[in-house]
């Protein structure tokens, strides 16, 4: 069975065609500048790569080109779109409605639309892509939505209710939802598989441009750092993470900004970029810090300090800790961050192994010494594969 996995943004769409027999990627690519101009880049597993401009007035046009490049010419990997058994879509905000992945129906699309009030930046492009793929593939092609929030629906009330008047929750569903659920689920399930245990207490650290940390107890998310939106939690590339809410008013007053403008500052000009004044890219920060830039060093220090605090608090919340997992662009690649978070944690049961850590990037590896009470792992995430697996499981039940 071959499954097409789609991750849509407002002007871009990433795709992967996955062979579920071998769980390998047959081809993948990116449609960019949708609604602006249009470019597609496409790579096949056997090493063919092409990139060209072509007009993308909308997401449907991008889907048509995607099918064309998969079925014809230099990038061809399948004979026709009939070979694609189903399409798996990454959905961002499933609210309280979607606690697991599900088959897309018109009713589901209406609900995703309703949830746009909670995720105005993220849900509309996902919805547009889901509708466009129905238009291009036809309604008979099964489509599945896998939501970033779904994995965290197991959190207890005490973890997700904000201490504001309860009516806001009742009326507007303002609460913690959490994101990156597909990634937290993938890496925690993978460690359970490696260890052959379903009872592990794990803190999963997904560190990328957006970063979030989750407490996963026996395969269930019991707490996570992101909240109603992906702005809450630890410092990120351009997002502040958690701050004193009174700062919003103070910033608005001092800088004569509207609430929308302050929110934009917190989302786009804060975090690692805001503190360092250098970049939101972790590699640039390391280069600047190595060159003596104190604020770049400070930004990394804040990041590591906050990650460490979450690990401590989530261990307390779960009443124990078996493992910490690092994943995402930073978690998988950045030896320095992992070292700064873990090296002085012997008191906590983490017997960090610097040599294993230095050799442990970009692959599945344990970076603690043999016998460490708490193990620390690098586990590369694979959200697309999990979306494809969920899609396969749901589609298989249809037959």
Residue 180 near residue 302 (C-beta atoms within 8 A): no
Which region among 58-66, 193-201, 240-248, 277-285 touches ligand ADP (by CB under 6 A)?
A: 277-285
CB of 336 to ligand ADP, least distance (A): 8
How many CB atoms are closer than 10 A to CB 278?
Answer: 18
CB of 265 to ligand ADP, least distance (A): 20
Which is nearer to ligand ADP, 39 or 282 (by Cβ)?
A: 282
> x/- contact string, 166-205, with ligand ADP (CB under 6 A)?
----------------------------------------
Q: Which of 82, 110, 148, 260 is catalytic?
A: 148
CB of 332 to ligand ADP, least distance (A): 8
Tell which one of 283, 294, 309, 373 touches ligand ADP (CB under 6 A).
Answer: 283
> Does 29 contact ligand ADP by CB under 6 A?
no
Closest CA to 152 of 204, 209, 207: 204
CB of 284 to ligand ADP, least distance (A): 7
How far apart CA 127 and CA 140 sit, in angstroms, is 18
How far apart CA 368 and CA 380 sit, in angstroms, is 17
In the annotation, is 113 catalytic? no
Rg, the chain, Cα only: 21
Which region among 208-216, 297-305, 345-353, 386-394 touches ligand ADP (by CB under 6 A)?
A: 208-216
DSSP state of 154: G
> Does 282 contact ligand ADP by CB under 6 A?
yes
How far apart CA 224 and CA 230 sit, in angstroms, is 11
Write out the binding residues for ligand ADP, residues 226-265 only, by CB under 6 A.
237
H-run or E-run covering 398: helix 383-398
Which region among 24-32, 88-96, 220-228, 324-332 touches ligand ADP (by CB under 6 A)?
A: 324-332
Q: In the block, which residue shows the tokens 């092409």?
A: 50
Residue 212: partners with Cβ closer than 8 Å, 6 or more residues away: 178, 179, 180, 184, 206, 224, 225, 226, 230, 233, 234
How far apart CA 272 and CA 394 sit, in angstroms, is 40
CB of 67 to ligand ADP, least distance (A): 25
How far apart CA 238 and CA 258 sit, in angstroms, is 19
Helix (H, G, I), strand (E, B) or coil at 97: coil
Which is nearer to ligand ADP, 7 or 153 (by Cβ)?
A: 7
User: CA–CA distance from 54 to each of 28, 37, 38, 75, 129 (Å)?
Assistant: 17, 7, 5, 15, 18
Which is nearer to ligand ADP, 19 or 281 (by Cβ)?
A: 281
Instruction: Number of residues interacting with ligand ADP: please give it, by CB under 6 A.
Output: 12
> Does 328 contact ligand ADP by CB under 6 A?
yes
CB of 220 to ligand ADP, least distance (A): 24
User: CA–CA distance from 264 to each of 9, 198, 211, 267 (Å)?
Assistant: 18, 41, 18, 5
Token code pair at residue 212? 């979030």
> Does 88 contact ligand ADP by CB under 6 A?
no
Tell which one of 330, 341, 367, 374 touches ligand ADP (CB under 6 A).
Answer: 330
Residues at the interface with ligand ADP (CB under 6 A): 208-210, 237, 281-283, 328-330, 333-334
Positions annotated as catalytic residues are 148
């Amino acid at each position: 069975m071959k499954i097409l996995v789609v991750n849509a943004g407002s002007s871009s769409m990433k795709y992967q065609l996955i062979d579920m027999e071998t769980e390998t990627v047959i081809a993948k690519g990116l449609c960019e500048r949708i609604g602006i101009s249009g470019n597609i880049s496409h790579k096949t597993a056997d090493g063919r790569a092409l990139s060209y401009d072509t007009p993308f007035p909308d997401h449907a046009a991008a889907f048509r080109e995607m099918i064309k490049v998969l079925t014809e010419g230099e990038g061809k990997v399948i004979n026709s779109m009939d070979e694609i058994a189903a399409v798996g879509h990454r959905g961002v905000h499933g609210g309280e409605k979607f606690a697991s992945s599900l088959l897309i129906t018109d009713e589901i699309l209406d609900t995703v639309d309703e949830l746009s009030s909670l995720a105005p930046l993220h849900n509309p492009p996902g919805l547009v892509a889901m509708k466009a793929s129905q238009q291009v593939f036809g309604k008979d092609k099964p489509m599945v939505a896998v939501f970033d929030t779904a994995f965290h629906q197991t959190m207890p009330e005490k973890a997700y209710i904000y201490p504001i008047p309860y009516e806001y929750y009742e009326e507007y569903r303002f609460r913690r939802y959490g994101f990156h659920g597909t990634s937290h689920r993938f890496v925690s399930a993978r460690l359970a598989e490696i260890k052959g245990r379903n009872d592990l207490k794990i803190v999963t650290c997904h560190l990328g441009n957006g970063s979030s940390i989750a407490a996963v107890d026996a395969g269930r998310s019991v707490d996570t750092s992101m909240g109603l939106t992906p702005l809450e939690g630890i410092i990120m590339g351009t997002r502040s993470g958690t701050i004193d809410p009174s700062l919003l008013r103070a910033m608005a007053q001092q800088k004569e900004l509207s609430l929308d403008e302050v929110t934009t500052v917190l989302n786009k000009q804060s975090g690692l970029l805001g503190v360092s004044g250098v970049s939101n890219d972790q590699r640039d920060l390391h280069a600047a810090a190595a060159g003596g830039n104190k604020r770049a060093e400070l930004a990394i220090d804040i990041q590591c300090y906050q990650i460490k605090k979450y690990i401590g608090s989530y261990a307390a919340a779960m009443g124990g800790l078996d493992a910490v997992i690092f994943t995402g662009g930073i978690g998988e690649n950045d030896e320095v961050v992992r070292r700064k978070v873990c090296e002085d944690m012997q008191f906590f049961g983490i017997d960090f192994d610097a040599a294993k850590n230095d050799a442990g990037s970009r692959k599945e590896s344990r970076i603690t010494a043999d016998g460490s009470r708490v193990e620390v792992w690098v586990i590369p995430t694979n959200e697309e594969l999990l979306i494809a697996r969920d899609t396969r499981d749901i589609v298989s039940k249809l037959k």
